[in-house]
Amino acid sequence: MRLFVYEKHLTSNLLSIMKKIIFAFALLASIGFTGCSSDDDSSSSNCTTCSITLLDITTSTEYCDNGDGTVTATTEGESETVDLEGISFDAFIAQLGLIADCN
From residue 11, give the alpha-carbon distance in Å to each of 24, 34, 43, 97.
Answer: 20, 34, 52, 75
Between residues 20 and 7, the one the model is more confident about: 20
Output DSSP code: residue 41. Answer: S
pLDDT single digits (tens) 28-73: 777 766 655 555 555 457 899 999 888 888 999 999 999 899 999 9
